[in-house]
Structure 1
Amino acid sequence: MSDAGVRRGAILLMSLGETEAAEVFKYLGPKDVQKLGFAMAAMEGVTREEVDDVLRDFRAASMNRANLGAADEYIRSVLTMALGTDKAANLLDRILQGGDNTGIESLKWMDSSSVAELIKNEHPQIIATILVHLEEDQASEILGCFVERLRNDVILRIATLDGIQPSALRDLNEVLTQLLSGSDKIKKSALGGVKMAAEILNFMGAVVETSAIQAIREYDPELAQKIQDKMFVFENVIDIDDRGIQLLLREVQSDSLVLALKGTSQALRDKIFKNMSQRAAEMLRDDFEAKGPVRLSEVEAEQKEILKIVRKLADEGQIVLGGKGGDEGLVE
């Protein structure tokens, strides 16, 4: 959801009234609820014209929706025909979100430190199995709460996890009340693996990332290299084509970009500048030079926010990605 989309969504919800807005919130995930909640709390300066525009667009969109019915069965049938029973089952678990993910869904609403406290004394394999069900940024925050030895062990287990067997799901049921119901009927789920380990590490700081990769390399050098090959860090933005850079720049605020570019290569900065108007590039250069040294933690925080936008655009098929990066201290 873009910032403009969040604002329009907040305006629509505030126009509906408390009861109707509450019903809408029941169908949203924790991240969307949080974004909309912040937007509603910060809402000010809304004109009558803006409200009318939002309501008009919503009405038009609603009238254009066809009531096809039996959506679950249609999706199940089409995906099974296209992908086969096993692959379709893996995907359907995610799409249809049956009643067997209530425990995992409850974790998504908890703050990361609370989840970490809840699971930190469990076996690392159980922790890995839990984390692969969560969003990568939440999983990385939870891992950040662990001691280094446990964190590295869990990341290694995520990277080597080849799907979730029913027996592992039964272990999860013992850890979290009613985490997944009916685990005997559940097929092996395609979660974990090199890609997920890489995506989780993408959200973590450079020091943690380096430590984890080194620990995995001691266990399996080839596996460590596969994870690194799958990772995408800020310097890899240079591999995005010009059209993709331009799409990205439309979503990023200037002050965020100034911080994120600190400590990056001149080649990356030049690529960013050349995809801006001459005036905008000159202003960004001036702001960049005037900023002075900043803490690497601040730079990494901004880079991670921009990387979230990069991944969103990649997931939408608007840009194509490539992989690696980081260190600690002050950057010029």
Structure 2
Amino acid sequence: MADAAGAGLSGAQRAAVFLLGVGEESATAIMRHMEPREVQRIGEAMASLSSISNEQVEAVLAAFHEDASALNPLGLGAPEFTRRVLTNALGESKARSMLAKVMPGKQQTSGIEALKWMDPGAVAELLEDEHPQIIAIVLASLDEEQSAQVLVNIPEPVRSEALLRVARLQVIDPAAMEELDKVLEKQLGKVRKTPPRSVNGMTSAAAILNNVKADVESELLGALKEADAELGEKVGELMFVFDNLMELDDRGMQRLIREIAVDSLVIALKGVDDRLQDKFFNNMSSRAADMLREDLEAKGPVKLSEVEAAQKEILAVAARLSDEGEITLGKGGDDFV
């Protein structure tokens, strides 16, 4: 009964109900450990909850108790414990360098942390007179949704140049981070020496582009390909992955299926999310869907490289159909009238 009572709530709503259930003081302490994006989503969920029954509150708290009971307490707080031990043993300067090696991607400057809580327009204004390399480092360090909103507020040609530099990033060196901290010191009064940090610039650039409007995406990707054709192609490939086919409407999916060889589809669907498999099944005739399920069950283990090759082949077909106007991929651009 408890599970049924909480079944209609989204993850953010369940978190909101939990926080409302534990009281203001405990909820405040918990939210201090959340990322800005998490706080925003839970805050929106709290505002959207018009009426919550006692059964729903009990269901959420019971589910939390069950999940918490399954956790091994030894793993909780391990990153912070590691940070404290290394700092006490090596001193702050050496510990920062060591932490960058043993906990890659987990070190964050206080300046970047402050930017996460700022309005994207304010971040763009703060960066408007800075070098494109500094802007690129900031964009690669923020959440991709916030980075996308910051990027669209930066005027051309700096915007395209900054995205090009994001895509080329591999390692953020200490000198660049020092320069970034100087920028933030002037605006926020916060400075902290930081070690090198590995980044995947092409992935960051693709994620940023996936979060801007279609017309801006087309403009920026075109500028990126013009500046560096090979890099632009790689970023474009990273923007469109097999899971994106979930965004196709039923008509588009049916059109795509007609262009795909069954053998390729069987391999491409190996190991993918059940929801995506169902997306294909639901857009086939019952007989074709049953045959595909049987082929998937009968198919033995397949090399990951073969799965990726088959998926890439299908994505190429989808891209061609999109270019021909047969199907619609990705985000919307202008409104229809």
Q: Helix, strand or coil for the counterpart of 1:94?
A: coil
Q: 1:51 aligns with which of 50, 57, 66?
A: 57
The change in CA–CA distance for 1:5 and 1:329 in structure 2 (over 3 A counts) is closer
The change in CA–CA distance for 1:31 and 1:269 in structure 2 (over 3 A counts) is farther
Q: Is the 8 A contact 1:161 1:193 kept in 2?
A: yes
Q: 1:163 aligns with which of 168, 171, 184?
A: 171
| Deviations, residues 106-164 of structure 1 (Å, cap 9, x unaligned) | 11111211111111111111111111100111111111112231110101111122311
Q: What amino acid is aligned across from residue 72 of structure 1 in structure 2?
A: P
Q: Is the 8 A contact 1:102 1:179 kept in 2?
A: no
Q: How does 1:30-179 map to 2 (within 5 A)?
A: 30-68=36-74, 71-72=78-79, 89=100, 92-95=103-106, 97=107, 100-177=108-185
Q: Helix, strand or coil for the counterpart of 1:223?
A: helix
Q: How does 1:228-243 map to 2 (within 5 A)?
A: 228-232=236-240, 237-238=244-245
Tell me the C-alpha RMSD between the 2 structures.
3.7
Does residue 249 of structure 2 align to residue 261 of structure 1? Answer: yes
Q: Rg bigger for which structure?
A: 2
The change in CA–CA distance for 1:163 and 1:273 in structure 2 (over 3 A counts) is closer
Does residue 39 of structure 2 align to residue 28 of structure 1? Answer: no
| Deviations, residues 69-127 of structure 1 (Å, cap 9, x unaligned) | 772388789xxxxxxxx9983571434x4xx5221111111121111111111111111
Q: Is the 8 A contact 1:101 1:180 kept in 2?
A: no
Q: Is the 8 A contact 1:163 1:190 kept in 2?
A: yes
Q: What is the distance in 2 between the residues matched to 1:67 and 1:166?
A: 35
Q: What is the distance in 1 between the residues matched to 2:159 and 2:215?
A: 12
**CA positional deviation for 1:214:** 2.5
Q: What amino acid is aligned across from residue 211 of structure 2 in structure 1?
A: F
**Equivalent residue, structure 1, for 2:274:** none
TM-score (norm 1): 0.65
Does residue 208 of structure 2 align to residue 200 of structure 1? Answer: yes
Q: Is the 8 A contact 1:120 1:146 kept in 2?
A: yes
The change in CA–CA distance for 1:182 and 1:112 in structure 2 (over 3 A counts) is closer
The change in CA–CA distance for 1:90 and 1:136 in structure 2 (over 3 A counts) is farther
**CA positional deviation for 1:53:** 1.4
Q: Helix, strand or coil for the counterpart of 2:172?
A: coil
The change in CA–CA distance for 1:125 and 1:29 in structure 2 (over 3 A counts) is same
The change in CA–CA distance for 1:42 and 1:94 in structure 2 (over 3 A counts) is same
Identity %: 32
The change in CA–CA distance for 1:192 and 1:181 in structure 2 (over 3 A counts) is farther
Contiguous gaps of at least 5 residues in structure 1:
78-85, 239-244, 246-256, 279-319
The change in CA–CA distance for 1:45 and 1:227 in structure 2 (over 3 A counts) is same
TM-score (norm 2): 0.65
Deviates more, 1:210-219 or 1:167-176: 210-219
The change in CA–CA distance for 1:168 and 1:228 in structure 2 (over 3 A counts) is same
| Deviations, residues 39-67 of structure 1 (Å, cap 9, x unaligned) | 11221231211111122222233333333
Q: Helix, strand or coil for the counterpart of 1:207?
A: helix
Q: What is the distance in 2 between the residues matched to 1:192 and 1:179?
A: 29
**CA positional deviation for 1:28:** 0.7
**CA positional deviation for 1:167:** 0.5
Aligned pair count reads: 258
Q: What is the distance in 1 between the residues matched to 2:80 and 2:155?
A: 45
**Equivalent residue, structure 1, for 2:264:** none
**CA positional deviation for 1:166:** 0.6
**CA positional deviation for 1:261:** 3.4
**CA positional deviation for 1:24:** 0.6
Deviates more, 1:112-121 or 1:264-273: 264-273
**CA positional deviation for 1:328:** 5.2
Q: How does 1:225-304 map to 2 (within 5 A)?
A: 225-232=233-240, 237-238=244-245, 261=249, 267-268=255-256, 274-276=280-282
Q: What is the distance in 2 between the residues matched to 1:144 and 1:267?
A: 34
